[in-house]
Amino acid sequence: MPSPYRAIFAAPGSKGFSTAGFLGRMPLSMMGIGVVTMVSQITGRYGLAGALAATLAMAAAVFGPQISRLVDRYGQRRVLRPATLVSVAAVTGLLVCAQQRWPDWTLFVFAAGVGCVPSVGAMTRARWADIYRGSPRELHTAYAWESIIDEVCFIFGPIISIGLSTAWFPEAGPLLAGVFLAIGVFWLTAQRATEPLPHPKSAQSRGSALRSPGLQVLVITFVATGTIFGAVDVVTVAFAEEQGHKAAASLVLAVYALGSCLAGAVFGLMHLKGRPSTTWLVGVCVMAVSMIPLQLAGSLPFLAVALFVAGLSVAPTMVTTMALVEQHVPRAELTEGMSWTGTGLAVGVALGSSAAGWVVDTSGAEAAYVVPVVAGALAAAVAFLGYRRLSKPVPTGGRGEDERHLRTDDDERVA
């Protein structure tokens, strides 16, 4: 491991919560694609599969920020464990309904329940932010590390989920995702020493973190970015099936994540001196342009190469996004702020999965790659229009007020 990454793990407890966060985030890459694979295996209906994945993502978009807001107010342990139990119970119901071929509406009910899954990535990033507050270089490396973990999940998650569902039984992928979620969250919340202190008075006295103009730009842009991801997942599975190698879809999607993982590892070693907003804008635009070659995909090898190149812009953009959230959102709302970016992605994944599934059913997989191209163009347009909001200095009044809240809460806790 390069020295900057080794250095961040000198903090006590960092290895433990990072490992638990890795397990807890595996469902992020396994559940949606696992549901698509499971339903398409059982029913052969990609439209239904995409709609269910969209429902799951939309439910996560609705519940995720609310769960994170409660975490800011009451702490990770008190909130995450009940939320996880609800999500795991919903996963169980979804698998039973699919296996028993119950009516479609029952699948949608339980898919919505699965959306209670907490944003584990936001929880681990909040712990890093608490540890390295005031140390921008270490925090940059920590955020890069978290993006690497995200991409490792997306490398192995689809392989495991699609592989199990196609080689063992259709429900195997989502089932294992639920197991990973339960183990990861309960292990993470057992580690109290690194858990950020809750700030109930600060959380109650403020509105939503989404009132920040900068965060609004990031979230809207991430809706379009999530549309790219959701569409690429669904269309790649369908394209691989058309090519007669459905199981190979997991390998192709893993190559996409591998490109992002490698780029994130290198980006974490860099210390750019320019504005994070400029770096972010460039990343979004490169991500949009990288979708264009997918239109030429005539074989799985070509598609894998195109997706690897496209992945190179993903992790650096995500790392910069977290840095911008940290700049534009008060400390007492940081978990909620980070979750809102995940919500934007989830909404986009829902739109992308649904749109791509419809286009696959009506026009075929190759034609459906137009969906991520359009989504990329929209992401770039929103990024350009919102760039000035992200470039403006953050008002010091809000920061100072936030720090006063933190000191008051800490003083009362000591007293």
Average pLDDT over residues 152-172: 82
The pLDDT assigned to 413 comes to: 35
Q: What is the C-alpha separation between 313 and 264, in angstroms, rounded? A: 9
Mean pLDDT of the chain: 82
- Domains with residue ranges and CATH for the chain: 3-414 (1.20.1250.20)
The packing angle between helices 76-99 and 104-114, to 10°, is 160
The pLDDT assigned to 18 comes to: 92
407 — pLDDT class (breaks 50, 70, 90): very low
Task: Say whether pLDDT at 128 is over 80.
Answer: yes
The pLDDT assigned to 373 comes to: 93
Which tokens in the block code for residue 106? Answer: 């029952």
Average pLDDT over residues 109-126: 86
Q: What digits encode the pLDDT tens for the residues 343-366?
A: 888 778 778 877 888 888 888 888
Greatest distance between any 2 Cα atoms in the chain: 68
Average pLDDT over residues 44-49: 79
Give the percent of the chain with pLDDT over 90: 20
Average pLDDT over residues 100-107: 86
Average pLDDT over residues 374-386: 92
Q: Which of 185-189, 194-198, 242-246, 383-387 has the lowest mean pLDDT?
A: 242-246
Q: What digits encode the pLDDT tens for the residues 253-267?
A: 888 888 888 888 888
The pLDDT assigned to 46 comes to: 75
The pLDDT assigned to 207 comes to: 62
Q: Which of 123-127, 129-133, 146-150 has the highest mean pLDDT?
A: 123-127
393 — pLDDT class (breaks 50, 70, 90): low
The pLDDT assigned to 394 comes to: 59
The pLDDT assigned to 167 comes to: 81
Q: Which of 13-22, 129-138, 202-211, 233-242 has the lowest mean pLDDT?
A: 202-211
